[in-house]
Structure 1
């Protein structure tokens, strides 16, 4: 039965394996954002904490979207183990710079899966990932906007409070 089911999958095995890697990356992102929310709460950046709680939930939704896609295409999604979550940041700038660095890695990973799906002729996976490609444009742009705002505002004195207050503009 197992061999028959694998032969009738509508997803290529290589695509499935890469998407399982993406599931892990999205779950890891969710955990990272929870840690960032905790850091923000502990350091008085309450609006930024709300932003990261929301981001954590979005990353989990992304993970589940991929998980369900694998189920729908006859694949075998794997529930990931998550470890190596950083809980220590030197500043709010460090938090958002780390966020951008992570989002760029996610973008690169999604682009690599799209390229592989294209190479394999796995049109279903390629089309499925269109939404993720555009979502990453939005994610990176949001964090770049926040970092630009931080640079303009500065991090001295009341600047930190202004930064935290302004992050509310990016909570949907």
Structure 2
């Protein structure tokens, strides 16, 4: 009996290369959020730490959703190496401002990838990316709100801890329509 061997195709399009790059971007964002979480945890701010630990897992899951999509489409995936993350911050506002900027960069990356998929007439890939576009609207809005609350607190992080206790910043709105993550979700 002849064994059937699955054929894995090399990446042949700009969009496929951008998808792989987005895997690396997502894993880097996950690591940066982990660094944010540890920074808050070391300063006895458990709600902020918990929020960023969850964000770290979310960003990892986003990367693994793209990996699964590429696997499902028999496209070769190479997991990129991680970049160095920033661990030192002068105050919490600096950290949260970086988190806002990180979300804006991710939004730009996802938008570019979606545009290239459309240009290449990859309609399945374009449909796949719609979830990420919606997700990023919420991610930027949540982090911007957190930065605004930080500014109003005038440096009192316990105000931000109270805000997270009263109005937990969760983003489960799109989970039921989320693409599958390779290896399964960790949270």
TM (norm. structure 1) is: 0.89
Please name the residue that 2:79 is paired with. 79
Distance 1:93 1:136 in 2: 21
Shift of 1:160: 2.0
Distance 1:43 1:5 in 2: 47
Maintained 8 Å contact 1:12/1:120? no
Maintained 8 Å contact 1:38/1:49? yes
5 Å-filtered alignment, 1:64-143, equals 64-143=64-143
SS for the counterpart of 1:58 is helix
Maintained 8 Å contact 2:23/2:67? yes
5 Å-filtered alignment, 1:14-93, equals 14-93=14-93
5 Å-filtered alignment, 1:156-171, equals 159-168=156-165, 169-171=167-169
Distance 1:34 1:47 in 2: 14
Distance 2:78 2:60 in 1: 14
Shift of 1:12: 5.8
Distance 1:142 1:58 in 2: 14
Gapped runs of 5+ residues in structure 1?
Answer: none
The 4+ residue runs of structure 1 with deviation greater than 2 A are 167-172
Distance 1:146 1:32 in 2: 17
Q: Comparing both structures, which one devotes a greater share of its residues to helix?
A: 1
Size of the aligned set, in residue pairs, is: 164
Please name the residue that 2:149 is paired with. 149
Task: Go from structure 1 to structure 2 and tell me whether the alpha carbon gap of 1:94 and 1:21 turns closer, same or farther (over 3 Å shift).
Answer: same
Shift of 1:5: 4.7
TM (norm. structure 2) is: 0.82
What is the CA deviation profile of residues 36-73 of structure 1, one whole-angstrom value per residue up to 9, with x for unaligned ones?
A: 11110112221100000000000011011000000011
Shift of 1:128: 0.3
Shift of 1:142: 0.2
Maintained 8 Å contact 1:19/1:113? yes
